[in-house]
């Protein structure tokens, strides 16, 4: 099941990257108060016609090994549980589990 979630998340990331510039332009035009109302409304409509999954707010950081959506270490893109296991076993370069 985690593989399916990771694939869906990857597709969302690709869509968000593809439509990023277009989405930002439409948003900027629709918020510009110097433009006439009809033009702003037209850009708001174009923004609403973009795919729903192309928004960056719909992208979720997930663990690449388990698919867990919460408490993901962003630098490694793995969850804290997997990170702790890898840190104590030693395959992560420069990281070791501390003990005192």
What does the pLDDT look like over 11-67, one tens digit per residue?
Answer: 999 999 999 999 999 999 998 888 899 999 999 999 999 998 888 888 888 888 888
Could you say which DSSP state residue 71 is in? S
Q: What is the pLDDT of residue 56?
A: 87
| Residue 30 within a domain | yes
Please check whether residues 34 and 54 belong to one and the same domain: yes
Asked which of 2-11, 19-28, 60-69, 88-97 is least confident by mean pLDDT, the reply is 88-97
| Residue 1 within a domain | yes
Q: How far apart are CA 20 and CA 59, in angstroms?
A: 13
| Residue 99 within a domain | no
Tell me which residue range forms the domain holding 85.
63-93
Number of domains in the chain: 2
Q: How far apart are CA 81 and CA 68, in angstroms?
A: 10
Quickly list DSSP for 5-49. Answer: HHHHHHHHHHHHHHHHHHHHHHHHHHH-TTS-HHHHHHHHHHHHH
Please check whether residues 72 and 46 belong to one and the same domain: no
Q: What is the pLDDT of residue 1?
A: 62
| Residue 2 within a domain | yes
Please check whether residues 53 and 36 belong to one and the same domain: yes
Q: What is the pLDDT of residue 28?
A: 92
């Amino acid at each position: 099941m985690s593989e399916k979630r990771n694939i869906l998340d990857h597709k969302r990331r690709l869509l968000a990257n593809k439509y990023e510039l277009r989405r930002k332009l439409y948003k900027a035009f629709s918020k510009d108060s110097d433009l006439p109302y009809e033009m702003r409304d037209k850009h708001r409509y174009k923004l609403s016609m973009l795919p729903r999954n192309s928004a960056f707010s719909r992208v979720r950081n997930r663990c690449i090994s388990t698919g867990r959506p919460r408490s993901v270490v962003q630098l490694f893109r793995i969850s804290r549980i997997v990170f702790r296991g890898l840190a104590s076993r030693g395959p992560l370069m420069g990281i070791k589990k501390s003990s005192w």
